[in-house]
Amino acid sequence: MVPRSKKLDAIYNFTVMVGQSPMFAYLMGYLAGQVDRVNFVDDLTGADIAVKISIRRTAVWPHEPFKAFVRGVAMPNPFTLVRSVNQENTPICVSLDFDHAEETPWYQEVVLPNVSYVTNAIEAAREESEALRQEMDRTLDIYRECKNMLKDSSPERQKELGFYMKLAEQQLKSLSQQLEELNKKMRQLAES
């Protein structure tokens, strides 16, 4: 996952490049405010929200300065785009097209090859969350079984079962913290 600070740097640097264009200034300001949802990608194929901004000055063929799609529907300008996506948490995939982009360090630090890097990160986090939940269920089963066995056990066996119950409690606490951190990460990924 690309750090938030690097994405903000990229947005700032590109804003400086677009100069005094009110349309781009508005869009870049919106993207800065939604930085957790923004992902810079080279290939926008498959993105629910895809935005391409081009400011090439040395291109042989002219490029369309702004092109955006929301679930396949073309957005005519940044204002319409922002109104269309403002009330949701879907990732915004952005491709910046400018002179020497492939050699510009601040952009190369944040750009991903394609949209699958965005969606796969979310899916991987979901799978990890499910694995943690299953581990918590197994640990709870062990705890419950030890507790049930505790009633009909000798004092020596009760001490041993108490030890295992304490281990299970510690494991549950650790797994719970991991799950909380992962849920926070998943919220960030869903918003980014």
Question: What's the domain range around 172?
Answer: 119-191
Domain identity same for 75 and 151 = no
In terms of pLDDT, which residue wins out, 184 or 29? 29
Domain identity same for 15 and 45 = yes
> How much is the pLDDT for 52?
95
Task: Look at residues 114, 130, 149 and tell me which one is the last residue of a structural domain.
Answer: 114
Q: Mind listing the pLDDT tens digit for each residue in 98-155?
A: 888 888 899 988 888 888 777 776 676 677 778 888 999 999 999 899 888 888 888 8
The C-alpha atoms of residue 119 and residue 68 are separated, in whole angstroms, by 19
Domain identity same for 165 and 102 = no
Domain identity same for 144 and 93 = no
Domain identity same for 98 and 166 = no
Task: Look at residues 74, 94, 114 and tell me which one is the last residue of a structural domain.
Answer: 114
Domain identity same for 138 and 105 = no
Domain identity same for 109 and 169 = no
Domain identity same for 97 and 144 = no
Comparing 72-81, 96-105, 125-134, 158-167, the range with the smallest average pLDDT is 125-134
Question: What's the number of domains the chain is made of?
Answer: 2
Confidence bin at 79 (pLDDT 50/70/90): very high
The C-alpha atoms of residue 31 and residue 25 are separated, in whole angstroms, by 10
The C-alpha atoms of residue 161 and residue 148 are separated, in whole angstroms, by 10
The C-alpha atoms of residue 103 and residue 30 are separated, in whole angstroms, by 26
Asked if 134 contacts 91 with a C-beta cutoff of 8 angstroms, the reply is: no
Domain identity same for 10 and 41 = yes
